[in-house]
Structure 1
Amino acid sequence: MTQKQKTVLIYATPAVLLCIPLWGNRFSEEFDWSPVDFVIGAVLLFGTAFIIDLIQRIIKNKTHKTLLIGAILLLLLLVWAELAVGIFGTPFAGS
């Protein structure tokens, strides 16, 4: 896989993930995302994609690269869960 293909895949993934709640809002009453929710989701997902792209380009050691990407994805999941349901009870929790 070339670097250009990796970059396209890295940035296409957040776009595809954001299509899920978009379709859900359109066709289901159970989804209730506001435009602000989409902006926050896009910032989180595309910001993570940008950081992963930087790691892919800068870090040469495959082990370090894998560990850093894993840590970034774990951080994304924790922030997303906190915003969604407030697992840590911080002031910006979603519930």
Structure 2
Amino acid sequence: MSSAQIRHPGLTATARAVLWSLFAAVLIVPAVAMQFTAEVNWGPGDFVAAAGLLGLTGLGLELAARAQMGRTARLAASGLVVLALLVVWAELAVGLFD
């Protein structure tokens, strides 16, 4: 483990930039799609909900990366965070559990 990782645990600056850029792109896609088709119809509340979910996911991934456990456990925790995002997103989108 490098001294930078010991002093600054969690995601690297590059990984953090990629993560938040990906989340921004996920929010931009429906905004752009709404300009070209009536099939995508998000309201302000949809964007707020998506931003909240993505923000909590980013926080969860950061906390998983900072956790004092082995690499495998951190990867498992990160996978669970992403799985939780996908399940909640699917429930909000199509009522997966209704």
TM-score by length of 1: 0.84
Structure showing greater relative contact order (alpha-carbon pairs closer than 8 Å, 6 or more residues apart):
2
**1:74 is matched with which residue?**
83
How do 1:52-63 residues align onto structure 2 when only pairs under 5 Å count? 52-63=61-72
Answer with 1 or 2: which has the greater Rg: 2
1:10 is displaced (CA, Å) by 1.8
Distance 1:13 1:60, change over 3 A: farther
Q: Name the amino acid aligned to 1:85.
A: V
SS of match in other structure, 2:89: helix
SS of match in other structure, 1:31: coil
SS of match in other structure, 1:21: helix
Report how many residues are paired. Answer: 88
Q: Identity across aligned pairs (percent)?
A: 34
SS of match in other structure, 1:53: helix
In the alignment, structure 2 segments of 5+ residues that lack a partner are 1-10
How do 1:12-23 residues align onto structure 2 when only pairs under 5 Å count? 12-23=21-32
Runs of 4+ deviating beyond 3 Å: none
C-alpha deviations, 1:45-66, integer Å up to 9, x for none?
Answer: 1210111012112345110011
Cα RMSD (Å) of the superposition? 1.4
C-alpha deviations, 1:16-71, integer Å up to 9, x for none?
Answer: 11111011112211100001100000100121011101211234511001101111
The 1-side partners of 2:48 and 2:68 are apart by: 29
In the alignment, structure 1 segments of 5+ residues that lack a partner are 90-95
TM-score by length of 2: 0.82
**1:92 is matched with which residue?**
none
The 2-side partners of 1:57 and 1:26 are apart by: 40
Q: In the alignment, which of 3, 10, 34 is matched to residue 19 of structure 2?
A: 10
Distance 1:70 1:57, change over 3 A: same
